[in-house]
Structure 1
Amino acid sequence: MDIITVAIHLPFAKLSHWQQITFSAALLERMLPNYQMFSESADFGDAKLLRNQLDIIWQWLGDSRTVKINADAQLTKLESQTPDPEAFDFFGVFPALDTCMALTALWQLMQIKPAKKGKIDPSDLEDVQSISRLSHNSVSYYVELLLIEELDDEAEISQEQINEHPLMQWEIATQNELFDFLQFAAIDKRTCQLAKKMVLSEGMSNLGIEIE
């Protein structure tokens, strides 16, 4: 059953380039365990490579002056870890694919030249918007499957039912809280630590998978 997903629309133009990257990296922390579970179940991909890439991004956020990154090389490595959903016949491939697509968008975001205050090109916001949407959509699709299983295969699942589910409520609240925090946060390592702590406080991925 196809549900039209209502994406979260946050005013990312209010965030600096650094804040957008931190927002995106924090969301990836909640998505990465989904890839790890898929990788272990399907015997595909290297979750450690994705973990290492995200760690490198956090290091850059903590001190961009000393941490140098070849984003194109990292994108090439990530491409081989991205699953083809047609090659797998179980749900886990979709949140795993969302994770890879979000990390790809994050590397692309990092390559954008920061805009001067008040002169942000709307196209420069596409990557952070995509990451927000990918995280949201992973949850939406999973919740839809849960509701179909709980109710009836023939039942009509509404967007309202999806939005009211605790996992979706948590996703929306997390993105909003993270945005509100970063909007006025300092550009330093402590902000990175606080952002990570905020999104990992429950010890679960955005789908409710326990983080090892």
Structure 2
Amino acid sequence: MSNPAASFNQRLRALNPRQRLAFMAALCERLTPNYTLYAGVSHLGDPNVLYNVLDLVWERLQIKSAKIDFDKQAEKLAAVEPPEEDDSFGARRATESIMALTTLLDALRSEAPEAVLEVSQVSRNGVRAYIEMIDGSEDSERLNVLFREHELMQDERDYQDAVLEAVEEDPNVEALRELRTLGRNQGISNLGLSLD
């Protein structure tokens, strides 16, 4: 039996740098509502920083000559990270949003071929943690079945598949706009949580 995760990762590795960036940007869009929800509940952080960074990333994808100081953007992201001592579920998911975006910035600053796999995994791990929190089981066998079959994980796989297919076409400007809309997912995060 072929391993779908392995072939998915092979396809990610086969992307060119621009395609990888577009894939990561779409996933970051879908992670950002988790940060926004955390900021709203905790009154910490600033979602605008994440959205501004994403705006710049999409601009760079569309206009190769766009001059953007990604080191400075990474510093801004670090400044709005949840406090280390906050170990709440929301803080961990918000931190994942920052991690994914920071990884994306790293890939913009240097050829980081593994970054795309990291962002894919960060998104999946958040879904796993959420499933474990709401439907958790002590039994690891049952938990693995749950991870495979849970509708949120199926949605995550379908979403990442759709994004991968979109970027494999090497998106033009119009396709990038559509990809960003797909990433925004009507304000619903990878955990199925909405800002409404």
TM-score of the aligned structures, taking structure 2 as reference length: 0.88
Whole-Å separation in 2 of the counterparts to 1:136 and 1:71: 26
Match of 1:126 among 106, 114, 117: 114
Cα distance change of structure 1 residues 10 and 203 upon mapping to structure 2, 3 Å threshold:
farther
Cα distance change of structure 1 residues 25 and 145 upon mapping to structure 2, 3 Å threshold:
same
Whole-Å separation in 1 of the counterparts to 2:125 and 2:87: 19
Task: Please state how far the C-alpha of 1:211 moved relative to its aligned partner.
Answer: 4.2
| Runs of 4+ residues over 4 Å off in structure 1 | 153-157
Task: Please state how far the C-alpha of 1:11 moved relative to its aligned partner.
Answer: 2.4
SS of the aligned residue for 2:114 comes to helix
Q: Which runs of 5+ in 1 are unaligned?
A: 1-5, 114-123
Q: In the alignment, which residue of structure 1 is the partner of 2:178?
A: 194
Q: In the alignment, which residue of structure 2 is the partner of 1:39?
A: 39
Task: Please state how far the C-alpha of 1:89 moved relative to its aligned partner.
Answer: 4.6
For each residue in 1:4-29, what CA deviation from the matched residue of structure 2 results, as whole angstroms up to 9, or x when unmatched? Answer: xx896352232111110010000011
How many pairs were matched up? 190
Cα distance change of structure 1 residues 11 and 154 upon mapping to structure 2, 3 Å threshold:
closer
Q: In the alignment, which residue of structure 2 is the partner of 1:73?
A: 72
Q: Which runs of 5+ in 2 are unaligned?
A: none
SS of the aligned residue for 2:181 comes to helix
Q: Which has the larger radius of gyration?
A: 1
Whole-Å separation in 1 of the counterparts to 2:34 and 2:139: 27
Whole-Å separation in 1 of the counterparts to 2:108 and 2:186: 28
Q: In the alignment, which residue of structure 2 is the partner of 1:119?
A: none
Task: Please state how far the C-alpha of 1:201 moved relative to its aligned partner.
Answer: 4.4
Whole-Å separation in 2 of the counterparts to 1:24 and 1:89: 25
Q: In the alignment, which residue of structure 2 is the partner of 1:99?
A: 97
Whole-Å separation in 1 of the counterparts to 2:118 and 2:134: 24
Q: In the alignment, which residue of structure 2 is the partner of 1:64?
A: 64
Q: Report whether the alignment pairs 1:13 with 2:1.
A: no
Cα distance change of structure 1 residues 83 and 203 upon mapping to structure 2, 3 Å threshold:
closer
Q: Calculate percent identity across the aligned residue pairs.
A: 30
Cα distance change of structure 1 residues 203 and 72 upon mapping to structure 2, 3 Å threshold:
closer
TM-score of the aligned structures, taking structure 1 as reference length: 0.82
Instruction: Give runs of aligned pairs for residues 135-174 of structure 1, distance below 5 A.
Output: 135-148=123-136, 157-174=142-159
Instruction: Verify the 8 A CA contact 1:33 1:211 in the aligned structure 2.
Output: yes
Q: In the alignment, which residue of structure 1 is the partner of 2:52?
A: 52
From the two aligned structures, give the one with the greater helix fraction. 2
